[in-house]
Amino acid sequence: MFSLRYSRMSALKEIGIDGLEILQKSTVSIIGIGATGSSAADLFVRNGIGNMRIADPDSVDISNIHRQSLYDENDVGDLKVEAARKRLVSSNKGTSIEVLPQKINDDNVDRFCKGSSIIIDGSDNMETRRVLNSYSVTSGIPWVFTSAIGTVGQIKLIVPGKTACLQCINVRFDSPEMRCEDVGVLASAPYITGSLAWTLAVNYLIRGKLIDEIIYLDAGVPEIVHVKTQRDHSCQMCGNIP
């Protein structure tokens, strides 16, 4: 059924034919399709995810091209979600792709993400992450938090009721944020961050594998550090989940 196309995946004991079948039946929602989101989305589509939804309100800017792998010079000025869909379809016509050229907020998150197998945070702001953290707890849908700026990245798989959520580990959603246009970004940082987010998501979807930790990486060294996290049962967000 999967033939030659996925033969290098199915040969992996961590994936196998049954893993391919799970991915083909799965739906991933990518919230923000900048550099990290592009890296993760590209891997999901090339590796046979069945359904993908992509939300992002922005258009492609020439300053994006050095790190956002789904876009080229011809896409400048076009909506990112449309340019991304065009590129992703050319990699794999077997993935069904829906797009939304809007920012995800408390009002539209359920309409867009409902029924997702997992959500990938490709956003660039803490307000969107607050929305995703809250929605994950109320919907039960797992998500992968990511962040990449400068030379560094962070990744954490969050499964409500099983791992710490962002609030459990005291992430501040209202603290001042650095911006790529001010501090710069080393292109490999979001590439690695997005590909590790894909890896954590696939491991969880196929084998239910989860480790309660946050991964910190510095692409400039390079170095990856794993820091254990744990649920706070008095967490105002997820503490009520048994």
> Which listed residue (68, 167, 193, 229) binds Zn ion by CB under 5 A?
167
Q: Compose the 120-159 pattern: x for residues touching Zn ion by CB under 5 A, - for all others.
A: ----------------------------------------
Task: Tell the burial category of 52 from Cβ atoms under 10 Å away from its Cβ (0-12, 13-18, 19+).
Answer: buried
Phi, psi of 155 (to 5 degrees): -145, 135
Can residue 165 be called a binding residue for Zn ion (CB under 5 A)? yes
Edge-to-edge strand order for the sheet containing 51-55? Answer: 96-100, 51-55, 27-31, 118-121, 143-149, 152-158, 213-218, 223-228
Q: How far is the CB of 242 from Zn ion (least distance, A)?
A: 13
Q: What residues contact residue 199 under an 8 Å CB cut-off, 6+ apart?
A: none
Residue nearest to Zn ion (CB): 235
Q: How far is the CB of 236 from Zn ion (least distance, A)?
A: 8
Can residue 171 be called a binding residue for Zn ion (CB under 5 A)? no
- Amino acid type, 202: V
Can residue 235 be called a binding residue for Zn ion (CB under 5 A)? yes
**CA-CA distance, 165 to 141, in Å (whole number)?**
12
Q: How far is the CB of 32 from Zn ion (least distance, A)?
A: 22
Query: Which is closer to Zn ion, CB of 30 or CB of 237?
Result: 237
Q: Which stretch binds Zn ion (CB under 5 A): 20-28, 181-189, 214-222, 233-241?
A: 233-241
- Please name every residue paired with 79 in a beta bridge, in sequence order, or none if there are none: 59
Q: Which stretch binds Zn ion (CB under 5 A): 97-105, 114-122, 154-162, 166-174?
A: 166-174
> Which listed residue (119, 168, 185, 202) binds Zn ion by CB under 5 A?
168
**CA-CA distance, 189 to 193, in Å (whole number)?**
6
Can residue 238 be called a binding residue for Zn ion (CB under 5 A)? yes
Question: Would you please indicate which residues are annotated as catalytic (active-site) residues?
Answer: 180
**CA-CA distance, 144 to 100, in Å (whole number)?**
19
CA atoms in the 13 A half-sphere facing the CB of 158:
32
- Amino acid type, 139: S
Positions that interact with Zn ion (CB under 5 A): 165, 167-168, 235, 237-238
